[in-house]
Each structure stands twice: as C-alpha cells, then as structure tokens.
C-alpha cells in the first residue's frame, strides 16, 4: 500500500495495490502498521471506533459536514461505484485554511482518504449507485454537527454532475460565512 500526500495539510491518500488474476482481485483495504507510520502516531489506527456505510444513487450530494469541538478523524473509501469527494480545511491555524480539494474515490483504484479533524467533507455519487465506507474515531454527537450548503457561493464547489437529491438537513445547511463565525 502506497501513501500519498495531498494539497491539504495533514490529509493523506492510501492507495492499495490489488492482486488481480482470472478470478478477480484481492486487496488489503486497511493496514494498521502502515496507517500508524503514515500519521506518525503509534496506536492511531486503534483509535477508530465506528465503521459506517452509506449508499447513494447517481447525482446525490452528501455534505458538506464537519464536527466542532475536537472534530473527528475519518478514513473514507468507496467500496462500490465512484464518488467525487471534497474536503475543505476549516482549521484556522492551518496553512491550508479555507482551501478545498476534490478526490476521485472508486472501486477500481480503491483509494482511501484520511481526513484529520478540522475538515468539512462531502461527496457526489458518480455512478448508478455508490457505497461509501467511513472509519471514524469518535462516536457521533449531533450537538457537534457543522454544515455548509453544498452550493454555497463562497465555496463554489464544482460538482461534476447535476445534483439530483440532497437531504433536508443538507439543503438547510448554513453558509461558509456563518461557519467562520463558529470556528
């Protein structure tokens, strides 16, 4: 498994190297030793407490979500289909504060995105269905939820397809300017 850096401070991309033959493929989707070495903290892999999965139909946007307080770290991958995954750094003391970056996560290259605490995260399903798996380091506390509208004019996120469905919660999310007052 290779580890790549991104344009965003502290965000890592883990790239498995699948073995393929006539039967199909086999790939390691997580390796605690590689993860710990990449983030520079022994035992970091053991801090993941929850695994979650979502299924979305093509065009759906989920996000932009974040957490206040200590935030949360996530390891995100697309197990089936493909998604356009977007991160925005909301850490005021970060050299990439306010910067966004998009990543293609799919079931072909199996890239995993390590999202440290302090980021907004969202994605759009690019295929008829897309299953996204999240490994999260903290239990969910709705009181810490942060959100910015997926179509916020200040963020200008370039979603690659027409947006077909958004949850009522995401449709009612606040603006980037409102979020800046909270972080």
Which of the residues are catalytic? Answer: 65, 134
Q: How far apart (Å, rounded) are the C-alpha atoms in residues 55 and 80?
A: 9
Element spanning 169, H or E: helix 168-171
Per DSSP, the residues of 17-72 read --EEETTEEE-----HHHHHHHHT-TTSGGG--EEEEEEEETT-EEEEEEESTT--
């Amino acid at each position: 498994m290779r580890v790549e850096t991104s344009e965003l401070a502290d965000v890592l991309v883990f790239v498995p190297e699948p073995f393929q033959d006539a039967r199909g493929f086999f790939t390691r989707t997580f390796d605690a030793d590689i993860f710990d070495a990449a983030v520079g903290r022994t035992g970091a892999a053991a801090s993941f407490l929850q695994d979650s999965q979502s299924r979305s139909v093509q065009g759906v946007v989920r996000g932009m979500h974040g957490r206040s307080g200590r935030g949360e770290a996530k390891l995100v991958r697309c197990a089936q289909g493909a998604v356009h995954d977007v991160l925005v750094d909301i850490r005021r003391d970060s050299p990439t504060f306010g910067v966004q970056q998009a990543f293609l996560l799919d079931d072909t290259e199996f890239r995993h995105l390590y999202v440290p605490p302090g980021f907004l995260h969202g994605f759009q399903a690019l295929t008829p269905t897309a299953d996204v798996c999240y490994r999260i380091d903290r239990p969910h506390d709705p009181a810490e939820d942060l959100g910015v509208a997926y179509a916020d004019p200040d963020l200008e996120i370039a979603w690659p397809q027409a947006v077909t469905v958004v949850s009522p919660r995401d449709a009612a999310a606040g603006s980037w300017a409102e979020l800046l007052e909270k972080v």
